[in-house]
């Protein structure tokens, strides 16, 4: 078992969770608009949705690994190319962070959990991202690949839960800091680019 690979995976997941994206921005807005508990419930919905993606990935890709090593290598190459494409998209995007809380509707805790869950489960980009991200971090030649994918999924969910929860709890301070520091958006933008490129290189080598 390669623990260095698991540590690398946890670090990469942390950087991705911190980088501004639709999920953590949504959590931030819900916390600012409705309160911290609403942000935390949204986090729980989003993280629960990851179980579905992990299950689909674990059983689908594990079958491919058993069937054809070359095909699996091709999937990893395509995954690396997709991550490089995401880095390019971030590079071309605006670095300005947008906290549009005026149009965020008030919702119940139950509806926020459900929305977070379905936002994650029904987003095909999450499935594609898991497919690009996870296979390059398989960490054992002996352990069943289904178990390995669930271990990676568990780490991804735990790390994302901790960081997203911190975002929900510190939403007010985060908004104030980013509004007062104009370079914050630019720094986070380049963090995303570096992380995507770094993961792509890691998968390829």
pTM over 0.75: yes
Provide CB contacts within 8 A for 89, sequence distance 6+. none
Provide CB contacts within 8 A for 34, sequence distance 6+. 104, 106, 107, 112
Q: What are the pLDDT tens digits along the chain (205 aa)? A: 788 999 999 999 998 898 888 888 889 888 988 889 999 999 999 999 999 999 999 998 877 877 787 888 888 899 899 999 999 998 888 766 665 656 556 778 899 999 999 999 988 888 889 989 999 899 998 899 999 999 999 999 999 999 999 999 998 888 787 777 778 778 888 888 898 998 899 888 7
Query: What is residue 172's predicted lDDT score, i.e. its pLDDT?
Result: 83
| Token couple for 203 | 């998968």
**Nearest residue to 55 (alpha-carbon basis) of 124, 146, 126, 156:** 146
Cβ atoms of 14 and 167 closer than 8 Å: no
Element (H, E) at 25: helix 22-34
What's the number of CA atoms in the CB half-sphere (13 Å) around residue 190? 4
Query: What is residue 53's predicted lDDT score, i.e. its pLDDT?
Result: 93
Query: What is residue 50's predicted lDDT score, i.e. its pLDDT?
Result: 95
Query: What is residue 182's predicted lDDT score, i.e. its pLDDT?
Result: 76
What's the number of CA atoms in the CB half-sphere (13 Å) around residue 163? 21
Q: What share of the chain is helix, strand, coil (3-state, %, to 5)?
A: 80, 0, 20
């Amino acid at each position: 078992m390669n623990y260095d690979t698991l540590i690398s995976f946890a670090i990469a997941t942390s950087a991705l969770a911190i980088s501004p994206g639709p999920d953590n921005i949504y959590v931030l807005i819900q916390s600012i608009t409705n309160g911290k508990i609403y942000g935390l419930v949204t986090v729980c919905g989003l993280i629960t949705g990851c179980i579905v993606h992990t299950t689909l990935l674990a059983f689908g890709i594990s079958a491919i690994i058993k069937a054809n090593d070359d095909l699996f290598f091709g999937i990893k190459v395509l995954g690396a190319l997709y991550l490089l494409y995401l880095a390019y998209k971030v590079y071309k995007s605006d670095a300005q962070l947008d906290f549009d809380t005026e149009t965020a509707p008030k919702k119940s805790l139950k509806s926020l959990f459900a929305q977070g869950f379905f936002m994650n489960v029904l987003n095909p980009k999450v499935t594609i991202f898991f497919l690009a991200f996870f296979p390059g971090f398989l960490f054992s030649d002996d352990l069943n690949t289904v178990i390995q994918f669930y271990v990676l999924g568990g780490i991804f969910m735990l790390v994302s839960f901790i960081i997203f929860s911190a975002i929900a709890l510190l939403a007010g301070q985060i908004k104030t800091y980013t509004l007062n520091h104009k370079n914050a958006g630019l720094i986070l933008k380049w963090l995303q680019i570096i992380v995507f490129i770094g993961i792509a290189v890691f998968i390829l080598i």
